[in-house]
């Protein structure tokens, strides 16, 4: 599954909210897929990914908030010492980001500019 870096965070904090019904239904199916098979191979990609597929902000394969999401993606990569193009099982990336971002001050540093931050801040992560 192709995922942009910060979506590995968002998936862990998903509580059923999203940009619209189609997006939310699609995200729910991705969250279920990863919960059913935590060893799913993740490719860390630059640009639109599996989650962006049904997003109303995805215009012809380009995010309308590209500048902001690129900034968040780069921060995630820097903090976790990951590069675009890396592949690993879902649990590897999920656990790494949980430990190095959700459980540290980096969560505030990276996510505070996101519209979902307050919701995510009060949501426990799903994966161990």
Binding residues vs ligand SF4 (CB under 6 A) = 6, 9-10, 13, 48, 51-52, 55, 57-58, 63, 65, 69, 72, 111, 114, 116-117, 120
The strand pair at 62-63 and 58-59 is best described as antiparallel
Any alpha helices (H) in 5-50, and if so which ranges? 7-12, 21-36
Report in angstroms how near the CB of residue 64 gets to ligand SF4 at its nearest. 7
92/116 with CB nearer ligand SF4: 116
- What the block records as the tokens of 12 is 């862990």
Report in angstroms how near the CB of residue 117 gets to ligand SF4 at its nearest. 4
Report in angstroms how near the CB of residue 1 gets to ligand SF4 at its nearest. 14
């Amino acid at each position: 599954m192709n995922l942009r870096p910060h979506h590995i965070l968002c998936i862990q904090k998903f509580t059923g909210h999203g940009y619209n019904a189609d997006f939310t239904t699609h995200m729910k199916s991705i969250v279920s897929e990863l919960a059913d098979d935590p060893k799913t191979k993740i490719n860390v990609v630059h640009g639109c990914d599996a989650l962006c597929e049904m997003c109303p902000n995805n215009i012809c394969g380009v995010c309308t908030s590209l500048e902001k999401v690129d900034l968040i993606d780069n921060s995630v990569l820097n903090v976790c010492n990951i590069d675009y193009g890396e592949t690993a099982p879902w649990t590897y990336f999920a656990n790494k980001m949980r430990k190095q971002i959700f459980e540290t001050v980096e969560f505030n540093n990276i996510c505070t500019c996101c519209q979902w931050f307050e919701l995510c801040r009060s949501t426990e992560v799903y994966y161990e």
